Amino acid sequence: MRNIILLGLVSFFSDISSEMVYPIIPLYLTSVFGATPVLVGVIEGIAESVASLLKVFSGYLTDKYHNKKPVAFLGYATGLVYKIGLLIASSWTGILVARVIDRIGKGIRTAPRDVLVSESADKKSIGKAFGIHKAMDMSGSAIGIFVAYRLLAKGHGVFDYKKLFLISIIPAILGLIALLCVTEKKQKLPIKGREMFWHRLKDLNVNLKFYLLVTFIFTLGNSSNTFLLLRAKSVGFTDTNVVLLYLLYNITAALLSIPFGKLSDKIGRKKVLVAGYITFAIVYLGFAWASKATTLVIAFIIYGFYTAMVAGAERALIAEVSPPELKGTMLGLHSTIVGIALLPASIIAGLLWNVFGASVPFAFGASLSLLAAVLLMLLLNSQTTEKSDRVI
């Protein structure tokens, strides 16, 4: 439990730093540099997709050399470089470079961190462990967003944005200090576990293959959260109130992550994931046809339910049905698939917004989410192993 709490603190402080910045990036791009929604989508899509290519290899190196903590530290340290990049950027291309650097760091750290969490948990409570981690992660996000709101409420000039970027460096350093206190469990695995991972993809659990396919389909409709923020602004929310909406979402997810993590341990990952995808569809339909501020407030709250349902359950599922010697690789591969799909997803969302209006990209996302839910119900248990019967 000590490791899980420490890893939670790492994400807690790192997310304070990241979320002080993230919700204002689309506002910064549109207000200061005059970027359009499609350009915002391209920037976010490129940043996520470039970084996603590293995630599977980060997981592979984690499995091969068993150095999870150093790899994770390198990934979190990249966040400091990101903040410096934002401070010196003088155009949208500078923001793009900074975002790519940040996502590269996330690509490096995600898989080894998730392996550390899974290896620190009891086998019967992996969902709870990931729920605790996600709750602390989202709590940090909520605090970071609140700090951003308080600072931006005093004015909307370039000075206020850059002051925020500078302050965000402090919690990033605290997160690195917490990571230094984590104890890594060294494990000796057989040599066959160290062959190139793609040689063994055909031997993977069928449920894992199906879930990775469903993840790709779902993510094609799950564009960057920046579009949620821009949608709120298009309905009439001010920049500072948009940040408050994002805060509400993070608080909801933080409060519900542990209960839903425990629920997935009790009733199975599949039921929680299907409910999460259906919840996502409801949220996006709300964003598609929202004409009143109240509708968007409710949509952001329900979006917190979706995140709490899916974030812990999907990582627990992958950790459980993956071969022990490929656990980091599979967690990384999942993140890579998500990242690759985010590029076309964000570009499609931006184009649909520009050509057909703000409601269409959200209706498109809701449709793919419902399709993913149906596929998950039909495919995930079509073939199982003795192990996956217990965890799904």
Range in 96-100, 149-153, 168-172, 266-270 the model is least confident about: 149-153
Instruction: Assign 383 a pLDDT band (cuts: 50, 70, 90).
Output: very low
**Per-residue pLDDT tens digits for 339-366:** 778 778 878 888 888 888 888 999 999 9
Tell me if residue 185 falls in helix, strand or coil. coil
pLDDT at 312: 85
- Is the predicted pLDDT of residue 385 greater than 60, yes or no? no
- DSSP string covering 214-245, please? HHHHHHTT---THHHHHHHHHHT--HHHHHHH
Core vs surface per residue 309-330: b (16+ CB within 10 A) or e:
bbbbbbbbbbbbbbbebbbbbb
**Per-residue pLDDT tens digits for 321-345:** 887 777 778 888 887 888 778 778 8
In single-letter form, the type of residue at position 109 comes to R
**Per-residue pLDDT tens digits for 76-93:** 998 888 888 888 888 878
**Per-residue pLDDT tens digits for 239-278:** 778 878 888 998 999 999 999 999 999 988 889 999 999 9
- Tell me the C-alpha distance between 273 and 264, whole Å: 9
Question: Is 3.20.20.390 the CATH number for 2-184+197-391?
Answer: no
**Per-residue pLDDT tens digits for 10-32:** 999 999 998 888 777 777 777 77
> What is the DSSP-derived secondary structure letter of residue 390?
H
Instruction: Assign 388 a pLDDT band (cuts: 50, 70, 90).
Output: very low
Choose among 230, 222, 247, 239: nearest CA to 297: 247
Instruction: Assign 381 a pLDDT band (cuts: 50, 70, 90).
Output: low
**Per-residue pLDDT tens digits for 90-118:** 887 888 788 888 878 887 888 788 888 88
Instruction: Assign 196 a pLDDT band (cuts: 50, 70, 90).
Output: low
- Is the predicted pLDDT of residue 198 greater than 60, yes or no? no
Residues of the chain with pLDDT > 90: what percent?
A: 25
- DSSP string covering 22-45, please? GGGHHHHHHHHS---HHHHHHHHH
**Residue 114: exposed, middle, or buried by beta-carbon count in 10 A (0-12, 13-18, 19+)?**
buried
What is the residue-averaged pLDDT of the chain?
Answer: 81
Q: Where are the domains of the chain?
A: 2-184+197-391
Close Cβ partners of 232 (under 8 Å, ≥ 6 residues apart): 241, 242, 245, 296, 300
Close Cβ partners of 85 (under 8 Å, ≥ 6 residues apart): 94, 97, 98, 101, 102
- Tell me the C-alpha distance between 125 and 137, whole Å: 18
